[in-house]
């Protein structure tokens, strides 16, 4: 998960980018309160829920520990929530850590050796774990045993340490970075998909009820349509619209109130925020729609290369507004239309650029 302490125009007072993965402690607490507590409450991801329900019910029927579970998908789709639900459904405690926090095999050995029987270990961003720890995890997952090395050099001795049966729930936003030996040790693997607007409307209505906010169907639809297919973003936008409705209106969220509130926070009707539009604006106005290199584009918008590549680009590509080509980043006709601009003649079909636009 990326964290950013800087404040810019598309963040709230706490420095949170409303449509990004950043959150402060207060928002994390609110998000935790909104989390579903069981599979019946969990909205969306129908296939994953059905498959996971079978895995957990079968494990409970056998009186056994559930198989290890790997959850992959973009940030904000519910991986952490599902890990907590797995623990709740199995009646087991949960231990939460992350790949970046485990940089040595000893770090992992300390965690594994303190697990209780049946406990769920949630390992977020598992692809960022160090290689020595990763290799230790292979044996722990398969044989519930680790070898602890005592001493150094020729006198070093491996002491086998038996572990109680446990369930590892790994979460990753980059499943392709996981080595095959690690992926193969998970008994159940699920990929989390982006949500449909109708599913996000249900998420918004549920969260509004928990927050004691009055919202009508059109208001929920307006928020859902700007949430980039992500429940976490839908909940954040709902809280900001709630603030606007309480200060500027009578507290009831309608379509008009939601649209006015999100205009203040610079989230447009398609879910683009200031950074997204800055990238498109530079690509279209400064570079004629491209192609242009990523580093050049990042300099033009005053951001780091990684910020543009990891924060703005995935959504712009998914929305069909930007294309990655061997020659650089290229705006699509939809990008010109979204910003209300007319593409130069060189970018119209039949003028040698058609291959960049799928023509």
Counting Cβ atoms within 10 Å, is residue 302 exposed (0-12), middle (13-18) or buried (19+)? exposed
Is 17 annotated to bind ligand?
A: no
- Among 215, 245, 264, the domain-final residue is 264
Q: Are residues 157 and 219 located together in one domain of the fold?
A: no
96 within domain boundaries? yes
Give catalytic residue positions: 79-80, 124, 173, 232
Better pLDDT: 146 or 65: 65
- Both tokens assigned to 242: 């709630």
Q: What's the pTM value of the predicted model, to 2 decimals?
A: 0.79
Cβ 216 vs Cβ 7: under 8 Å: no
Q: Are residues 256 and 324 located together in one domain of the fold?
A: no
For residue range 138-176, what is the model confidence (pLDDT) as tens digits?
888 888 887 776 656 565 666 778 888 999 999 998 888
Cβ 109 vs Cβ 161: under 8 Å: yes
| Amino acid 154: pLDDT | 66
Calculate the alpha carbon distances from 2 to 237, 255, 267 in Å: 19, 32, 20
Q: Are residues 65 and 170 located together in one domain of the fold?
A: yes
Cβ 81 vs Cβ 44: under 8 Å: no
164 within domain boundaries? yes
Counting Cβ atoms within 10 Å, is residue 204 exposed (0-12), middle (13-18) or buried (19+)? buried
Q: Are residues 176 and 208 located together in one domain of the fold?
A: no
Q: Are residues 49 and 181 located together in one domain of the fold?
A: yes
* Mean pLDDT, rounded, of the chain: 83
Is 240 annotated to bind ligand?
A: no
- CATH code of 241's domain: 1.10.8.60
Owner of token pair 């297919």 = 229
Is 202 annotated to bind ligand?
A: no
Q: Are residues 201 and 168 located together in one domain of the fold?
A: no
Q: Are residues 63 and 156 located together in one domain of the fold?
A: yes
Q: Are residues 181 and 52 located together in one domain of the fold?
A: yes
Helix crossing, 217-225 with 255-264: angle to 10°?
30
- Report which of 117, 114, 163, 174 is spatially closest to residue 138, judged by C-alpha positions: 163
Helix crossing, 25-34 with 231-248: angle to 10°?
110
| Contact residues for 175 (Cβ-Cβ < 8 A; gap 6+) | 70, 72, 127, 183, 191
Q: Are residues 161 and 76 located together in one domain of the fold?
A: yes
Is 60 annotated to bind ligand?
A: no
Is 244 annotated to bind ligand?
A: no
Confidence of residue 52 (pLDDT cuts 50, 70, 90): very high
Is 62 annotated to bind ligand?
A: no
Structural domain count of the chain: 3
Q: Are residues 67 and 182 located together in one domain of the fold?
A: yes
Is 26 annotated to bind ligand?
A: no
For residue range 176-226, what is the model confidence (pLDDT) as tens digits?
888 888 888 899 999 999 999 999 999 999 999 998 889 999 999 999 999
| Amino acid 313: pLDDT | 87
| Contact residues for 198 (Cβ-Cβ < 8 A; gap 6+) | 224
Q: Are residues 154 and 77 located together in one domain of the fold?
A: yes
Q: Are residues 156 and 211 located together in one domain of the fold?
A: no
What's the first-to-final CA gap in the chain, in angstroms? 37
214 within domain boundaries? yes
Confidence of residue 352 (pLDDT cuts 50, 70, 90): very low
Q: Which domain holds residue 352?
A: 274-357
| Amino acid 163: pLDDT | 87
For residue range 75-101, what is the model confidence (pLDDT) as tens digits?
889 899 999 999 999 999 999 998 888
278 within domain boundaries? yes
- Both tokens assigned to 231: 């429940």
For residue range 322-345, what is the model confidence (pLDDT) as tens digits?
988 888 899 889 888 888 888 876
- Among 191, 215, 250, the domain-final residue is 191
């Amino acid at each position: 998960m990326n964290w950013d302490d800087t404040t810019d125009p598309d963040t709230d007072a706490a420095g949170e980018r409303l449509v990004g993965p950043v959150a402060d402690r207060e928002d994390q607490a609110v998000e935790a309160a909104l989390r579903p507590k069981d599979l019946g409450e969990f909205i969306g991801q129908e296939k994953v829920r059905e498959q996971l329900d079978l895995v957990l019910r079968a494990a409970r029927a056998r009186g056994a520990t559930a198989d290890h579970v790997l959850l992959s998908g973009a940030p904000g789709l519910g991986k952490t929530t599902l890990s907590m639900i797995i623990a709740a459904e199995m009646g087991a405690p949960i231990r939460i850590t992350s790949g970046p926090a485990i940089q040595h095999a000893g770090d992992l050995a300390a965690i594994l050796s303190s697990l209780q029987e049946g406990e769920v270990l949630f390992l977020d961003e598992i692809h960022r774990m160090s290689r020595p720890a990763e290799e230790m995890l292979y044996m722990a997952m398969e044989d519930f045993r680790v070898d602890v090395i005592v001493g150094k050099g020729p006198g070093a001795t491996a002491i086998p340490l038996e572990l109680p049966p446990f369930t590892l729930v790994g979460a990753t936003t980059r499943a392709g970075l996981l080595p095959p030996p690690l992926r193969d040790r998970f008994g159940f693997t699920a990929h989390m998909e982006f949500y449909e607007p109708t599913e996000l409307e249900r998420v918004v209505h549920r969260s509004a009820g928990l927050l004691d906010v009055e919202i009508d169907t059109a208001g929920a639809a307006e928020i859902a349509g700007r949430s980039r297919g992500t429940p976490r973003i839908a909940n954040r936008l709902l809280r900001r619209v709630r603030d606007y409705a309480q200060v500027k209106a009578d507290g009831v969220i309608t379509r008009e109130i939601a649209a006015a509130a999100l205009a203040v926070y610079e989230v447009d009707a398609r879910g683009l925020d200031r950074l997204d539009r800055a990238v498109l604006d530079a690509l279209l106005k400064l570079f004629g729609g491209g192609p242009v290199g990523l580093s050049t584009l990042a300099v033009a918008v005053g951001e780091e290369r990684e910020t543009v590549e990891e924060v703005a680009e995935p959504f712009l590509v998914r929305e069909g507004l930007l294309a990655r080509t061997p020659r650089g980043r290229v705006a699509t006709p939809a990008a010109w239309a979204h910003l209300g601009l007319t593409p130069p003649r060189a970018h119209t079909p039949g003028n040698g650029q058609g291959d960049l636009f799928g023509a």
